[in-house]
Amino acid sequence: MNEQVKNSGVEISPSYFETQLVNSQNSSTYSLKITNYESKPIALELSLGEFDQTPNTLMNYLVSSNKYKENIEPHVITVEAEQTRAYEFKVQIPQDCKAKETCNLALVLKLKPTDEETTTTTFEQAIPLYVTNTRNTEEDNYSMKSSFEIKIKVPKIIISEETNIKIETKNTGDTYTEPDIYAQFYNLKLLNNERQKKTEFKNIYNNGVKILPKKKFGKEIRYSTNNLEHIEIETIVEEQNQTIKSQSTDFWIIPPKFVIYTAVIIVLLTLITVSLIRFKVLSKILKRSK
Amino acid sequence: MNKKTLLTVSFSILFILALVKLPIQASAQNMSSDNYEIIDPTINSGGDDSSSSDNYKMEFSAGGEFNDERFESSNYKVGSGTGYTFMANVPKISYFEANDEKMNNICGYGGCYDRARFEIDPQNNPEDTLYSIEISDNDWSTVNYVDGITHQIKTNKDIDDYQTINSWQNGSWSEYNILGLNSQTEYKIRARALHGDFTESSPGPEKSTNTTNTTIFMDLDVSSESWRSSNPPYNITLGNISTNSVVTAPNYIWTSIGTNAQGGATISAYDLHGGLYSNNTDNLIESKNQNLETADSGFGIRIDTSKRLLDTGDPGYLRENLEYASSETNSVGGLSSSDHSYKVVLCTLRESTGHCNQGTGAPVHLSRTAIMLKAKASLQDEASDDYSDTITFSSIGTF
């Protein structure tokens, strides 16, 4: 399929940028390698827009493309047929973006028909610019924060051999972050709740993808066992191997067979006790009757 | 004391002596007198120039240790002496790639820019042997380590960073197993093995790979056939729009995407007029989510899910927003021209049955799907031959 499709289309590399702006910085320069697989030259119109992330799948999508049309130079570039070329773009950082801690700008390259042409369908490719404003911390006593909220939803007592545990995380910081989120399960001593040993490790989020501020991520993980266990689940959010948040909760997991065995043992013990009492009473009666 | 116990005790004493004396070996000096010179002798653990005169120089041996550093070159190393028998075998890296066919089938179009996969050759070490992975991007001027839990790169290591081959390579880590790499960088890795206390081997031979750059590819083609390429401008005609029945454009808009964005990519759409607009009559056939079968009039797009095409070994699937792929044949999704009106139409997911509101974003090699245009007019819509709209499809990756 590759070869057939590649008779046309446009390839752009790299397909995202991260920029740290210092206080006085107004502009930034980006370099892109663009390949035109079409058999004719194409013109690409440049603009600056914004992107966001979808609520459940946390995938980037374009929100606007022409919001800061004048903030990029050049405005139009031409790529020859079946050619690859590197281009430099100068982006003037918009004022309203500079006022925020994090700004989700997107460099948009739109396929433009020539003056003689009209089109009913066209496409554009957006390159996310993850912009972070590094403010003068001495001046306003401010520093960027990475913080996370974790919610672990699991019943305290589970009578089953397995359970689903819902882990919800939210980037409550004021900057995007690329976290590693995982859960570790520990066996707790039945008497003093001391951690005994690590029983399981589960990845929750480790795809190397940025989560924008205020975005939530949730996942259900499964825990199963054949034994009666008192378990502690610890959810850890790490960023560059540093723990930025961890949260623990504990639960009892009681397999049904254990409940049945216990019930059987109790019933048997009761029967034995009752029998013994009856036997004793019977013996006494027999003795008296003699 | 029997013979066996005596042998065990003697051997233990010799072994302890060997361990104590090992550092001395490393700094052994040439043995020489007026008559001879022996270059670089480090003969054994108990070696010492304890007896000498003008004519000779002797080194005593207190044990059976033998560890001559001349038994090592850049090509080989002989692990002589009993100390080596306790050490784990030096492991090799049998596979380390970010951009071969296998990794492209994991990372998508353009290969891996931030991750790679390695596989360890245990060199006859037992199954429960632990391995640590050393990594460098500057030819070992600095040595970093792969975290045994998160598989990210870190500057120091602890015992959690020693894992079995099964932990390093299987389960959650059966595809890639090193994360957090920089794009367009050459990395070298090597492994050490550990099988019990004080048994860590020296690092094995290195293996290198290059990460790629982040890439996104997009194409549109207007055609009735799956594979036909068309050059821009991409013009598609609906023909005569009827007042009684729904009209479908005879050609499809084929949308192709390829990316190594690990969080996947979306394709959104917006249009120029918010429907089919006639300049001559100033009339708009509005675009909105609706079933045109029952609506008076309308215009929209619909994804033909039967025309979904995947590349061989594609790690993801081009899936749809359900608004644009209703089960009703003539239901369409609307487009809007107002500001901030992009609507996600397609997305690339790991799950073959997912949709754009549910699933995990994933990269794709090259996936292609067909989009149909559908319209219907009402009696109130004035006839004209200039009803038109311009639809823009926008792709963006998630990183």
Interface with B, mutate which of A33, A53, A62 (most B CBs under 10 A): A62
Residues B214 and A50: their CA atoms lie apart, in Å, by 19
DSSP one-letter code for B171: G
**CA distances for B140 relative to A240, B186, B219, angstroms:** 21, 12, 42
Contacts of A6 in chain B (CB under 8 A): 366
Residue of chain A with shortest Cα separation from B347: A59
Task: Give the distance from residue B291's alpha carbon to the nearest chain A alpha carbon, in angstroms.
Answer: 23
Contacts of A123 in chain B (CB under 8 A): 218-220, 255, 392-395
Out of B147, B357, B394, name the one closest to residue A126 (CB): B394
pLDDT per residue rounded down to tens, chain B (399 residues):
566 666 666 666 655 555 444 444 433 455 566 666 655 555 444 444 455 666 665 555 554 444 555 566 667 666 666 666 778 899 999 999 999 999 999 999 999 999 999 999 999 999 999 999 999 999 999 999 999 988 999 999 999 999 999 999 999 899 999 999 999 999 999 999 999 888 899 999 999 999 999 999 999 999 887 777 888 888 999 889 988 899 999 999 999 999 999 999 999 999 999 999 999 999 999 998 999 999 999 999 999 988 888 777 789 999 999 999 998 999 999 998 876 689 999 999 999 998 999 999 999 998 999 999 999 999 999 999 999 999 999 999 999
Contact criterion met (CB < 8 Å) for A12 and B215: yes
Task: Give the distance from residue B235's alpha carbon to the nearest chain A alpha carbon, in angstroms.
Answer: 5
Contacts of A203 in chain B (CB under 8 A): 172
Contacts of B371 in chain A (CB under 8 A): none
pLDDT of residue A193: 84
Contact criterion met (CB < 8 Å) for B388 and A120: yes
Contacts of A11 in chain B (CB under 8 A): 215-217, 258
Q: What angle do CA B285, B289, B291 make, to 5 degrees?
A: 85
DSSP one-letter code for B87: S
Q: Mapping DSSP to helix (H, G, I), strand (E, B) and coil, where does residue B371 land? A: strand
Task: Give the distance from residue A202's alpha carbon to the nearest chain B alpha carbon, in angstroms.
Answer: 8
Contacts of A113 in chain B (CB under 8 A): 232-233
ipTM of the complex: 0.85
The mean per-residue pLDDT over the stretch A226-233 comes to 92
The residue with tokens 């959810």 is A235
DSSP one-letter code for B198: T
What is the amino acid identity at position A289?
S
Residue of chain B with shortest Cα separation from A107: B396
Task: Give the distance from residue B150's alpha carbon to the nearest chain A alpha carbon, in angstroms.
Answer: 7
CB neighbour list of residue B282: distance below 8 Å, 6 or more residues apart: none
**What is Dmax (Cα atoms) for chain A?**
125
Instruction: Please report the DSSP string for B233-292 in residue order.
Output: SB-----PPPSSS-EE-SSEEEEEEEE--TT-EEEEEEESSSEEEETTTTEEEEB-SEET
With a cut of 50, say whether residue A47 has pLDDT above it: yes
pLDDT of residue B49: 47
pLDDT of residue A66: 81
Residue of chain A with shortest Cα separation from B107: A207
pLDDT of residue A135: 61
Contact criterion met (CB < 8 Å) for B398 and A106: no
Own/partner contacts of B5-11, CB < 8 Å, gap of 24 or more, are none
Size of interface A-B (CB pairs under 8 A): 224
pLDDT of residue A259: 86
What is the amino acid identity at position B225?
E
Query: Is there a contact between B106 and B212 (Cβ–Cβ < 8 Å)?
Result: no
The pair of structure tokens assigned to B384 is: 């004209």
The mean per-residue pLDDT over the stretch A212-225 comes to 92
For all residues of chain A together, what is the average pLDDT?
88
Residues belonging to chain B? 399
Contact criterion met (CB < 8 Å) for A122 and B390: yes
Residues A22 and A28: their CA atoms lie apart, in Å, by 11
Contact criterion met (CB < 8 Å) for B390 and A203: no
pTM for the complete prediction?
Answer: 0.81
Query: Is there a contact between B124 and B333 (Cβ–Cβ < 8 Å)?
Result: no
Cis peptide bond N-terminal to B41, omega within 30 = no
The pLDDT confidence band at residue A158, using thresholds 50, 70 and 90, is: very high
pLDDT of residue B310: 77
Contacts of A121 in chain B (CB under 8 A): 220, 222, 234-236, 253, 390-393
Cis peptide bond N-terminal to B363, omega within 30 = no
Query: Is there a contact between B361 and B257 (Cβ–Cβ < 8 Å)?
Result: no
Residues B278 and B257: their CA atoms lie apart, in Å, by 32
The pLDDT confidence band at residue A199, using thresholds 50, 70 and 90, is: confident
What are the φ/ψ torsions at residue B21 (nearest 5 degrees)?
A: -90, -10
Residues B385 and A281: their CA atoms lie apart, in Å, by 107
CB neighbour list of residue B306: distance below 8 Å, 6 or more residues apart: none
